[in-house]
Amino acid sequence: MMDSKEAKQRMVEGRLYLPGDEQIIAEQMICLERLYDYNETRPLEAEKRALLLKEMFAEIGEGCYIEPPLRANFGGKHVHFGKNVYANFNLTLVDDGEIFVGDSVMFGPNVTVATAGHPIEPEMRRGTLQYNIPVHIGNNVWIGAGCVILPGVTIGDNTVIGAGSIVTKDIPANVVAVGNPCRVFREISEHDKEFYFRDRKVDLTKSDYQEEAFQE
């Protein structure tokens, strides 16, 4: 059997390992205690939430807001958020591996970002073997409600992932992608600067909505 040092090394290298290792579980419990505290905060305790997120996450930029409840296997320990990230209710981060999220990303309700997987071969699964592959989400991405992003996926800048999509492979920048499995539906175009929903025309200028925090 592999010892704790080997298990932890394999865990970060994306190799097969035993996630039930005592030292790994002990570290996980500390992370989950902090996550519990975060989810028990009251709506007006914004400052407390911000301080907890800085303790919980590997990195988190300014202006981030995560609506409780947040679910995370390691409480955000392996999660890197840029600035101005917004997450609606029930964001689930299977963060046994690293999750990298850029600036100005929006997560709809009930989104899952998973880095962990298990062998397809049944004997290895019975042995509780696991592997973790990082996920990368670019800047200014919108992940619609109920999406699932699977291990190893990269999503390019400015892309929109339609609600309910299952993202199994990389998605390029500047596209709208939808479906199960998620595929590119179309590119983001000049039309999107003129219409925000079907035939509804944009009737604001950048100065009306683009605060300093979101300017390039």
| pLDDT beyond 90 at 30 | yes
Query: Residue 104: which domain range?
Result: 4-214
| pLDDT beyond 90 at 22 | yes
Q: Which of the four pLDDT bands, split at 50, 70 and 90, describes residue 209?
A: confident
The residue among 211 and 102 whose pLDDT is bigger is: 102
Annotated catalytic sites, by residue?
A: 118
What's the chain look like in SS3?
CCCHHHHHHHHHHCCCECCCCHHHHHHHHHHHHHHHHHHCCCCCCHHHHHHHHHHHCCEECCCCEECCCEEECCCCCCEEECCCCEECCCEEEECCCCEEECCCCEECCCCEEECEECCCCHHHHHCCCEEECCEEECCCCEECCCCEECCCCEECCCCEECCCCEECCCECCCEEEECCCCEEEEECCCHHHHEEECCEECCCCHHHHCCHHHCC
pLDDT at residue 212 in the model: 53
CATH code for the domain in which residue 53 is found: 2.160.10.10
Q: What is the pLDDT of residues 49-96, one digit of tens each?
A: 999 999 999 999 999 999 999 999 999 999 999 999 999 999 999 999
Domain total of the chain: 1
Q: What is the pLDDT of residues 93-105, one digit of tens each?
A: 999 999 999 999 9
Average pLDDT value over all residues in the chain = 95
